[in-house]
Amino acid sequence: MSSNKNALIRYKTLDKCLRNKYRKYTLEDLIDECSEALFEYEGKESYVSKRTIQLDLQNMRSEKFGYEAPIEVYERRYYRYSDPEYSIHNISVNESDLKAMNNAIQILKQFKDFSMFREMNGVLQKLEDSVNAVQQKSIIHLDKNEQLRGLEHIDILYQAIINKKVLSILYKSFTARDFSTFTVHPQLLKEFNNRWFLICLYKGSMYNLALDRMESIEIDEKKVYIDRELDGDEYFKDVVGVTVSDSMHSRNVVFFVDKSNAPYVKTKPLHSSQEVVEEKEDGTVFKIKVQLNYELERLLLGFGESLVLYQPLRLRKRMEHKLKSAVKNYYETELPE
C-alpha cells in the first residue's frame, strides 16, 4: 500500500478515536488502533511507530493539510478533541474553494466521452452536488474535434499499456496502398495537434502509429510483452510533435519572425529549448535545439511569410522549394466559376 494511503487510513482512525467521548486514548492506544486499522486494510501485520503517530497528530494540529484540529492532552496522557463536534471530515470550504472546485469539475467533464473516463461521470455528478455547483455553460473550452477518427481505440490501447499486452494492429498509413499487420508492444499514448498516436516498440525500434489509421486491434496472448518503461517527458524532450529518431542528434534551428508575430512566438514557444538570439528593428531571431522531423517542418511552414529559416541550410532549401511550389500553385490553379 502506498505511504499516502497509509497516512489517510491513520488520519481517519485517529479522527475516530479523538471524537470518541466514551473512551480515553493514550498514545499507545492510538498506535494500537492505527496498527489494527492498517491490518484490516492490508491483511498483514503493520506496526505503526510512536514517532509516526506523533507526527500525524502534529500534522493534524497544523495548517499543513487544512485540518487545524483542536487536539488536546488531558490528565497528562489522554488525547481528544477539545471541540466535541470537530472532525477532519467537517472542514469548512470557503466561497473561493467552491469556485475552484467547480471550475475543475467543468474541465474534467469535457473528457466524459473517453471510455476510460465514463466511470467518473457518477463521481463528477456527486462532486457537483456536494459543492452545490451551479449548472452553467462552460467558460473553459478545450480544443477538440468531434469528427476525429480513432478515438474508439483509446480504451483498448490504454488497457493494453496498463496490463502490458502485445497487440496485433491492422494499419494503413496515408502513403500505403494496402493494410499491413503490425505486432507491437504499446508503450505510450500521445496527443498532438488534435490527433492521437500510439508510441510502440516494433521489431526492436520505436514507432508512432496514428489511431485514425488503425482498422482493427487484437491482443496477442502468445507473445511476451517488452516494457521500455518509457518516460514521455524524456522521450519527447528533443522534438516538436511525435516523430522521434533513435539515430538523429538535435540540431540548432535558427529562424527570424517579423515584429507582428514575434510576440506570439515569445509567449507560446515552439519548443522548451527556445531562446532569443537577437532583437532586430523588424523582428526577432529565435533558436531552438531539436531533431528535424515532419512536424517541425509543418510548424515552420505554417508561419508563411512571417518566418524566415536561417539554419540548418538543408531544411531551409527544402522549405524554400515548398514555398515556391505553393506560389506556383496559386498562379497556375484555375479557380472554379
Which CATH number covers residue 264? 3.30.70
Overall residue count recorded for the chain in this entry: 337
Assigned C-alpha cell, 97:
474553494
Question: Is 187 within 8 Å of 162 (Cβ atoms)?
Answer: no
Cα 157 from Cα 163, distance rounded (Å): 10
- The upper half-sphere exposure of residue 65, i.e. CA atoms within 13 Å in the direction of its Cβ, equals 16
Cα 140 from Cα 142, distance rounded (Å): 7
Question: Is 237 within 8 Å of 221 (Cβ atoms)?
Answer: no
What pLDDT does residue 179 have? 94
What pLDDT does residue 109 have? 64
- Domain count of the chain? 4
What pLDDT does residue 139 have? 63
Residue 318 and residue 255 in one domain: yes
What pLDDT does residue 151 have? 84
What pLDDT does residue 91 have? 67
Question: Is 184 within 8 Å of 202 (Cβ atoms)?
Answer: yes
What pLDDT does residue 43 have? 75
Amino acid (1-letter code) at residue 210: A
What pLDDT does residue 146 have? 64
What pLDDT does residue 141 have? 67
Residue 168 and residue 219 in one domain: yes
Phi-psi region of 150 (alpha: psi -120 to 50; beta: other; left: phi over 0): left
The distance in angstroms from the start CA to the end CA of the chain is 70
Residue 319 and residue 302 in one domain: yes
Assigned C-alpha cell, 228:
521500455
- Using the structure block, give the residue that is written with the C-alpha cell 499487420: 181
pLDDT in tens, the chain (337 residues): 456 778 889 999 999 999 998 999 999 999 999 999 998 887 777 789 999 999 999 999 998 777 889 999 999 999 999 998 999 888 666 666 667 777 776 666 666 656 556 656 666 666 666 555 445 556 666 676 667 788 889 889 999 999 999 999 999 999 888 999 999 999 999 999 889 999 999 999 999 999 999 999 999 999 999 999 999 999 999 999 999 998 999 999 999 999 999 999 999 999 999 999 999 999 999 999 999 999 999 999 999 999 999 999 999 999 999 999 999 999 998 888 7
Q: Longest Cα pair distance anywhere in the chain, in angstroms?
A: 96
What pLDDT does residue 136 have? 56
Assigned C-alpha cell, 328:
506556383
Cα 295 from Cα 274, distance rounded (Å): 16
Amino acid (1-letter code) at residue 110: Q
Query: Does any domain span residue 52?
Result: yes
For 60, phi and psi rounded to 5 degrees?
Answer: -65, -35
Cα 45 from Cα 69, distance rounded (Å): 29
What pLDDT does residue 149 have? 84
Question: What CATH number did the domain enclosing 45 receive?
Answer: 1.10.10
Residue 35 and residue 85 in one domain: yes
Query: Does any domain span residue 243?
Result: no
Query: Does any domain span residue 193?
Result: yes
What pLDDT does residue 152 have? 86
Question: Is 38 within 8 Å of 32 (Cβ atoms)?
Answer: no
CA-to-CA dists, residue 77 to 29, 30, 74, 187, 304, angstroms: 11, 12, 6, 55, 76
Query: Does any domain span residue 139?
Result: no
Residue 176 and residue 227 in one domain: yes
Q: Which residues of 253-263 are buried (b: 16+ CB within 10 A; e: fewer)?
A: bbbbbeeebbe
Cα 87 from Cα 15, distance rounded (Å): 6
For 195, phi and psi rounded to 5 degrees?
Answer: -130, 150
Residue ranges making up the domain that contains 171: 151-235
